[in-house]
Structure 1
Amino acid sequence: MSENCIFCGIVAGTIPSTRVAETDRAIAFMDINPGTTGHLLVVPREHSTDLRDAAPEDLTAATLLAQSLVSRVIDRLEGATGANLLSCIGSDAWQSVFHTHLHVIPRYPNDPLVLPWTPHPGDLDEIKTISEKLAQA
């Protein structure tokens, strides 16, 4: 546990939350600043800054819990037709709480949530060069 981490406080029960599901290694609770109705957060119980720092078994537990919640969101929330699963790593990628977490964001036709990324065709030569850098052992 990290003393100044709000999610560690939620895990410990010293900060109130609306829990939806939990396992021995991860918990899921409602986001109090939701992007859409039903927005959830899934966090490992053990503190880590982001998924690069998380123990594999904690990341696995959080991912499996998020997977089950995606199904619940689509099946149980009226009008939900999909979901985004999002992990933000670093402040430039919108991470505001530095405890590994996954957002499960229900999506609805015509919902107001707009991510700031608009896909457009990339430069194929650049894509190939970057893939070679990333594929190296």
Structure 2
Amino acid sequence: MSLHGEYDTDNVFAKMLRGEIPCVKVFEDDTALAFMDIFPQSKGHTLVIPKRAEARNLIEMPGDLVGSYMQRVQKVAKAVSKALEPDGIVVTQFNGAPAGQTVFHLHFHIIPRYEGDSLKGHSHGQQADMSELNALADKISSCIE
């Protein structure tokens, strides 16, 4: 999909927001939903999506909603840092398929980095163990301030 287009209300993240597809929740309020990536690039890989906008990417996000959404991205990144104590954190977001976007609902990736561990590819195809994801989600959730 290109950078511009129509929002698909049947994308996997929209279905999660409606409760049609389960996710391993880390955080949720009226602005954002954060959950574990089931195809993690690193232990603790978390996604944060906006709830109040049908935006395919950052360019389409209404300006009046960006600030509150980014505060949630930061809040979750801080919790990942506190809970998992990684050596670094990648916070990234893709706009359009040529940039690497695979789900066309705005989302930020919070990817902990650990010294000596190589980063798995985006959407690498190997699903994580759900019990491990639940344990990580609980640990991160307990550190959200």
Instruction: Provide TM-score, normalisation by structure 1.
Output: 0.76
Provide the residue aligned with 1:59 in structure 2: 66
State the secondary structure of the residue aligned to 1:52: helix
Corresponding position of 1:22: 28
Structure 1: gaps spanning 5 or more residues: 116-137
Give me the TM-score of the superposition, normalised by structure 2.
0.72
Q: Which has the larger radius of gyration?
A: 1
User: Cα deviations across residues 56-89 of structure 1 (Å, max 9, x unaligned)?
Assistant: 2433232111111111111111x51221110100
- Structure 1 stretches of at least 4 aligned residues deviating more than 2 Å after TM superposition: 56-62
Give the 3-state SS of the residue equivalent to 2:35 in structure 1.
Answer: strand
Aligned to 1:49: 56
* Structure 2 portions without partners, runs of 5+: 1-6, 122-145
Q: Does 1:31 align with 2:31?
A: no
> Which residue matches 2:105?
99
The alpha-carbon distance between structure 1 residues 57 and 29, as it changes in their structure 2 partners (threshold 3 A), is farther
Contact 1:36 1:105 in 2 (8 A): yes
Q: Percent sequence identity over matched residues?
A: 33
Q: For residue 44 of structure 2, what is the amino acid of its counterpart?
A: G
